[in-house]
C-alpha cells in the first residue's frame, strides 16, 4: 500500500477536524464538571480516536504519533472550553459542534483512505468510522448513552458525507470542492435530524410509530 501517497486534502483540514472533535470531548468533560487535566484527556482522546482506528485498520502509521501538534490542539480546545463553557448551553453546543465534526471528519477520513490507495467503498467505511468512533469513546468515558444507539440520524449523515466526497472525487471534481459539498450534505442531514427530528423507520414500526 502506498503509505507515502500525497493526501487529497490539506493537512490543515485534519487539524481542524481533530480540533472540532476535541471541543466536543472537552464539552463532555465540562458537563460532568471535571478538572482541566481531564478536559485535556477527553479532548485528545475524542479528537484522535476515530483517526487512530482508521489508520490501524488500513495499515498506515497512526497519524498523531509523529506530530505533537495534535496534543497541543487538544490542550487549546480544553482551555477554550474551560473558559467558555460557563457561558454556553453546553448540551446544545455539544450537539451542534458534534454535527460539524461528524460531517467534516467523515470527509477527512475518506480522503486519507483514498490517498493510500484504499478501494472507494472501503474508503467510505473508513470515513464513517473516523467520524463516529471518537464520539463513541467520548460518550463511554462520560458515562453517557452514545448518540449512535439513539434513534437519530447520525451514522447516515456520516455515510452521506463520505460517500458524497468519494463519488464527486471519482467524477473528477477537485478534492476541496468534493470535500466541501460532501461535508455540507452530511451536515445538512444531521442538522435536519437535530432540528426537525428526522429519523429512519425503526424495525417493526408501523406507519408513523417509532419515528423520533
Alpha-carbon gap, residue 4 to 27, rounded angstroms: 35
Cell of 202: 425503526
The three grid cell numbers given for residue 79, joined into one nine-digit string: 482551555
pTM for the structure as a whole: 0.87
CA distances from 120 to 19, 76, 84, 93, 145 (A): 26, 34, 40, 33, 31
- What is the C-alpha to C-alpha distance for residues 44 and 36, in angstroms, rounded to an integer? 12
pLDDT tens for each residue of the chain, 212 residues long? 343 445 678 888 889 999 999 999 999 999 889 999 999 999 999 999 999 999 999 999 999 999 999 999 999 999 999 999 888 887 788 899 999 999 999 999 999 999 999 999 999 999 999 999 998 999 998 888 776 666 678 999 999 999 999 999 999 999 999 999 999 999 999 999 999 988 888 777 665 554 43
Amino acid at each position: 500500500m502506498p503509505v507515502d501517497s500525497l493526501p487529497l486534502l490539506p493537512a490543515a483540514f485534519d487539524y481542524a477536524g481533530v480540533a472540532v472533535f476535541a471541543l466536543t470531548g472537552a464539552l463532555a468533560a465540562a458537563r460532568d464538571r471535571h478538572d482541566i487535566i481531564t478536559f485535556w484527556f477527553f479532548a485528545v482522546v475524542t479528537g484522535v480516536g476515530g483517526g487512530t482506528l482508521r489508520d490501524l485498520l488500513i495499515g498506515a502509521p497512526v497519524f498523531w504519533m509523529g506530530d505533537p501538534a495534535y496534543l497541543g490542539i487538544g490542550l487549546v480546545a480544553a482551555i477554550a472550553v474551560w473558559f467558555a463553557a460557563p457561558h454556553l448551553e453546553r448540551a446544545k453546543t455539544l450537539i451542534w459542534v458534534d454535527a460539524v465534526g461528524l460531517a467534516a471528519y467523515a470527509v477527512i477520513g475518506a480522503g486519507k483512505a483514498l490517498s493510500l490507495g484504499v478501494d472507494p467503498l472501503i474508503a467510505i467505511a473508513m470515513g464513517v468510522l473516523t467520524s463516529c468512533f471518537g464520539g463513541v469513546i467520548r460518550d463511554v468515558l462520560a458515562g453517557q448513552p452514545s448518540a449512535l444507539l439513539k434513534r437519530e440520524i447520525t451514522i447516515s449523515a456520516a455515510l452521506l458525507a463520505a460517500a458524497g466526497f468519494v463519488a464527486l472525487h471519482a467524477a473528477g471534481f477537485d478534492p476541496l470542492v468534493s470535500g466541501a459539498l460532501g461535508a455540507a450534505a452530511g451536515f445538512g442531514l444531521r442538522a435536519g435530524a437535530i432540528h426537525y427530528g428526522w429519523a429512519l423507520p425503526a424495525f417493526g414500526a408501523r406507519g408513523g410509530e417509532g419515528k423520533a
